[in-house]
Chain A
Amino acid sequence: MHKYVIRRLLLAIPVLLLSSLIVFGLMRVMPGDALIALMGESGNVGQKELAKLRKDLGLDRPYHEQYLLWLWQMVSFSPGDSIFTNEPISVSLKKAIPVTLELAALAIVLGITIAVPIGVLSATRQDTAADYAGRVVAVSGLSIPDFWLATLVITFSAIWVHWIPPIGYVSFWDSPWRNLQQFLLPAAVLGYRLAAATMRMTRSTVLETLREDYVRTAWAKGLAGRIVVYKHALKNALIPVVTIIGGQLGTLLAGTFVIEQIFALPGMGRLTVEAILYRDYPVVQTNVMLVAAILVTLNLIVDLTYAWLDPRIRYQ
């Protein structure tokens, strides 16, 4: 297992370095430079001020120096300041990351809680009304855009129940009830998409496992249906489900970008979208890189979990 962990870690480092090169390169593709794009449009900034700002931001240095400096800033957790607000990016991120993490974690919990039982039900009652209903719910989850579902949920809860989630973010430690009220709807919307993919995977893997010889043996021994399904079949069927959840983490993180915008949650997604709209490139490149790093790390954890669950993978 140690060798496998080391090999996977060594593979993750070049991927992250290349991602950083892509993100950095992307931000430099902009015609002129970021500052001209930002200030030039207003027309109120003179050449001298532009030159000074460019020097302050290190934009006058050669590209390789800028890249190495940015890499060092990222590694030392001090990624510079926002052009637009002048606030250190690390300070904005410190406020935003817990919001996104809470939203994503709640969405995963809600998604799995809904998906696994419905997936099992669909598989054990294949081609019945329950199965068709479960499959429609799953396919809809993959087709309905997050932002539409979120808009509908807010609209109809306002029209029918006369309730909308409280505005103005409050942390869980300050007021747990108000915080949960703010996060429940966005997490449910975000969790629905995750649930849809997980539901489909759970159904197909449970169906496959139910046809295995050892499950037939369990039935032949006269074990109760619940024990056969949950103790024998589901346990083995869950291995590919872990992978699909891992594969969905990117979609989930991207989903927070839209959902935070709609529900006015001050997380990383909202911070990045606003930075994109204001062309605040230091914030954009730091946040996109951070998302890539989080995703690579999470995928690494999923791979290691998978290898731990299924020893054959370690020796491939």
Chain B
Amino acid sequence: MATVPLRVPLEEPAGTTINRAHALWLTMKRKPLGAVSAALLVVLVLTAIFADVLAPYDPLATQPEIRLSAPTRAHPFGTDDIGRDVLSRIIYGSRISLWVGLLAVGIGTAAGMVIGLLCGYCEGRLDLVVQRVMDAIQAIPGLVLALAIVSVLKPSTTNAMLAIAMVIIPGNSRIVRGAVLSAKQNRYVEAAQALGCRQPRIITTHILPNVTAPILVIASIWLGNAILIEATLSFLGVGTQPPTPSWGLMLSSTGRAFMEQAPWLAIFPGLAISLAVLGFNLFGDTLRDAWDPKLRRQG
């Protein structure tokens, strides 16, 4: 007589981590652009962490006697209209960009994940209603929705971050929902249900580990977009407020006003935004190739 195993063997979590890290390493070896993007991100993160040490001057200290000074050895990126060192402001600006990006994506991903898990697992009416609400939010372009949210709240870095998180939720919830629906088809979920596991346990221990790859891939791609939206909101005057150094704000406040006299005020902050977004976009592509090639079309 055939025997039915009481427990369905699960993949070792440690093994999964090693496999993912190994897959990422192999993809980076095959595609050097992935390694370049990882290096860019390491530089960005280190710059943000050690801004106090790396910045040659206080980003808020003004020296009117050297206002609009062109790049020199003392001020490699020049100075702005009230004599603040542009390099120091860009170094400190990385903190704002990274902080807003990480928190917005963190909140958006966590909320999207919870909604996606519940919709995918429960299906039925809840899924139908919630997904229509997500459709409705997605019908409004991300930047426009973020602008509308910030107009209701007050323009500030925190509110910009919340607005960006709101923009991220629908797309994430949809991807997690799709992954849950597919993970639910697996035998081990059926086995867990047959063994009488409770639903929260099935969701957290059996389904969640299988949907972390798409979640992480989408989060990494969203980080670049979040930085771009924060910079755009600050550029339009509804994000980070002066005198806090933010890349988007630096471009709109002094970059545009003095662009003919002092082009460095527009060049360097824009370059910083582009490099950060490029780093996250390329790294997101690399993660996707390594962990979840099925997402390639959706990204």
Chain A residues within 8 Å of B, Cβ to Cβ: 14-19, 21-23, 26-27, 29-30, 139-140, 142-148, 151-152, 154-156, 158-159, 204, 240, 250-251, 253-254, 257-258, 261-262, 272-273, 275-277, 279, 281, 284-285, 288, 291-292, 295-296
Partner of A151, one of B145, B148, B255, B281: B255
Q: Of A29, A152, A291, which contacts B266 at CB under 8 A?
A: A152
Cross-interface CB contact of A18 among B135, B231, B236, B238, cutoff 8 Å: B135
Chain B, residues 234-259, CB within 8 Å of chain A (1/0): the string is 01111000000000100110011001
Contacts of A155 in B (CB 8 A): 259-260, 263, 266
**A258, B260: Cβ atoms closer than 8 Å:** no
Q: How close is B265's CB to chain A, nearest CB, in angstroms?
A: 10
Q: What 10 A-B pairs come out closest when comparing CB atoms?
A: A148-B270, A18-B136, A254-B143, A143-B278, A250-B141, A276-B151, A254-B141, A155-B259, A143-B277, A19-B136
CA of A100 to CA of B151, assembled, Å: 22
Bound Cα distance from A277 to B273, whole angstroms: 24
Residue contact A251 to B141, C-beta cutoff 8 Å: yes
Interface residues on B, range: 35 or more
Interface string of B179-206 (1 = CB under 8 A from A): 0000000000000000000000000000
Q: Which residues of A contact B140 (CB under 8 A)?
A: 19, 22-23, 288, 291-292, 295
* Contact call B151/A279, Cβ cutoff below 8 A: yes
Inter-chain contact total with CB atoms closer than 8 Å? 139
B135 and A145 within 8 A (CB): no
In the assembly, what is the distance between CA of A277 and CA of B236, in Å? 9
The distance from the CB of B158 to the nearest CB of chain A, in whole angstroms, is: 15
A257 touches B152 (CB 8 A): no
Q: Does B132 contact A (CB under 8 A)?
A: yes
- Can you identify 8 A-B contacts, CB atoms within 8 angstroms? A14-B132, A18-B136, A27-B148, A140-B278, A253-B144, A257-B236, A258-B143, A273-B236
Tell me whether A26 and B149 are in contact (CB under 8 A): yes
Contact of B157 with A by CB under 8 A: no
Docked complex Cα distance between A139 and B144 (Å) = 23
A15 to B274, CA, bound (A): 34
Residues of A within 8 A of B266 (CB): 148, 151-152, 155
Chain A: minimal CB distance from B162 (Å):
12
Question: What CA separation (Å) do A148 and B273 show in the bound complex?
Answer: 9
